[in-house]
Amino acid sequence: MSQPFFARACTVGIVLIVVAHLGCSRQPQPIEQAVPAESTDQPTVALDQPTLPEDESSSRSQPVDSAAPPMTDPRTAGPEPTQSPGSKAPPGSLQESLDNQPAPRSADETLAELGYKSPAERLQEKLAPPPNATRISKMSPLWIDVKSKRVFVDGYVAQREAFLEMFACDSETKEHESVLGVAAKSSEVHAALLAIGGQVGKTVRFDPEYVAATGQRIRIWVMWRDEEGNFNTADARQWVRNAETKQELDRDWVFAGSYIWKDPSDGKEYYQADSGEMICVSNFSTALMDLPIASSDSNSALQFEAFTERIPPTGTFVRLMLVPLPPENESETPTEEAEPNDDNQPKAESADQRPDESLMPLKELKAS
């Protein structure tokens, strides 16, 4: 081997050893830990680190102070600006635009502006009170006639073609499965029946075995006027029929009475039938009035439907007359101890006697 070749090989080997030694011994330092060079002429920058502007590199090279407060993400919202009382927001600011917005309106105010009227308001504009009756609700068209033992309450036709769970429900509750919507709460009707001597029973029970609802029987009459203003009346049972046999309902409702439930979360009490179960044809443990026979509330096994051909058009105003009946084994004839009627008061009528036109006067007719 010649001397020049050997010298060159040794030189290359020494260079490779030095490079390998430098590569293994050099440890990369984080940018935050870079220490400025002792020379004041030019800062020394670690190898493989990006060159930063002078102001940024100097700030990055300072040691981290563990006691310094954490940095705030500039993308997050800062604290709300505070204003001294009586000061105005800067012109054109978001706060100024919010301050200039009108105060929010209540739901009732919004509905009134849109021209909405509740069922009770529409009924009271159209129908005059029944004669010789006392109104017992400030908000609802509900009256009692104590001497004749009658309750009157107004409503409207909600459904003509439907399988039924209720014959009548509180207005704007379960009208999709009721013939009538009634412009009063079930709790108010309950109070009215008690006021004329109605005897409340018990709601249906299913556990451990089925026990039908009990209570005084209530005969229900429906009054309405057709488009020509002609007066009509019907036994409410004639508007309900068996979905299989197509025969009209042949049982009176009973005054089951629902019940009051106390919400443990807020301590408030709620009359359960106010959710819509006023006059039921399916059995509900929350019913104000129910049928004293087994009648499922399952959608696949509903027993009753609306008797479409006998029901006036949807939206027709109606007046219900509720008449408590004596027990089935007693006569409906008043006893001698019963208080006689005054000459100016209508005599107690049989529950089978249809109401007459005088019990449903129209305001327009009364005014004329």
- The tens digit of pLDDT for each residue in 22-73 reads 555 555 555 454 445 454 455 544 445 555 455 544 445 455 555 556 666 6
pLDDT of residue 46: 47
Task: Give strand pairing partners of 302.
Answer: none
The answer to whether residue 5 sits within a structural domain is: no
Residue 29: both structure tokens together: 């330092």
Residues 6+ apart with CB under 8 A from 262: 268, 269, 270
pLDDT of residue 206: 94
pLDDT of residue 83: 60
The answer to whether residue 296 sits within a structural domain is: yes
Return the DSSP state at 200.
P
The answer to whether residue 24 sits within a structural domain is: no
Return the DSSP state at 329.
T
The answer to whether residue 88 sits within a structural domain is: no
pLDDT of residue 6: 58
The answer to whether residue 271 sits within a structural domain is: yes
Tell me which residue of 130, 172, 200, 155 sits closest to 359, measured CA to CA: 130
Give me the percent of the chain exceeding a pLDDT of 90. Answer: 55
Whole-number Cα distances in Å, 132 to 184, 269, 280, 320, 344:
20, 34, 29, 16, 9
How far apart are alpha carbons 10 and 200 in whole angstroms?
117
Distance of CA 27 to the CA centre of its chain: 68
The answer to whether residue 143 sits within a structural domain is: yes
Distance of CA 52 to the CA centre of its chain: 63
pLDDT of residue 325: 95
**DSSP codes, 124-193:** HHHBPPPTT-EE--SSS-EEEETTTTEEEEEEEE--SSSEESEEEEETTTSGGGEEEEESS-HHHHHHHH
Q: What are phi and psi of 16, to 5 degrees?
A: -65, -40
Burial class of residue 127 (count of CB atoms within 10 Å of its CB; 0-12, 13-18, 19+): buried
Q: With contact defined as beta carbons under 8 Å apart, do 69 and 83 qualify?
A: no
User: What residue ranges of the chain have pLDDT lower than 50?
Assistant: 1, 31, 33-35, 37, 39-40, 44-47, 52, 56-59, 61, 331-348, 366-368
Which residue has tokens 């003509």? 160
pLDDT of residue 284: 97
pLDDT of residue 101: 78
Q: With contact defined as beta carbons under 8 Å apart, do 183 and 153 qualify?
A: yes
Widest distance between CA atoms in the chain: 152
pLDDT of residue 204: 97
pLDDT of residue 94: 82
The answer to whether residue 293 sits within a structural domain is: yes
Q: With contact defined as beta carbons under 8 Å apart, do 282 and 303 qualify?
A: yes
pLDDT of residue 70: 62
Give the domain range for residue 161.
133-327+351-367
The answer to whether residue 104 sits within a structural domain is: no
pTM: 0.67
How far apart are alpha carbons 289 and 178 in whole angstroms?
14
Domain count along the chain? 1
How far apart are alpha carbons 291 and 165 in whole angstroms?
11
Tell me which residue of 248, 356, 252 sits closest to 309, measured CA to CA: 248
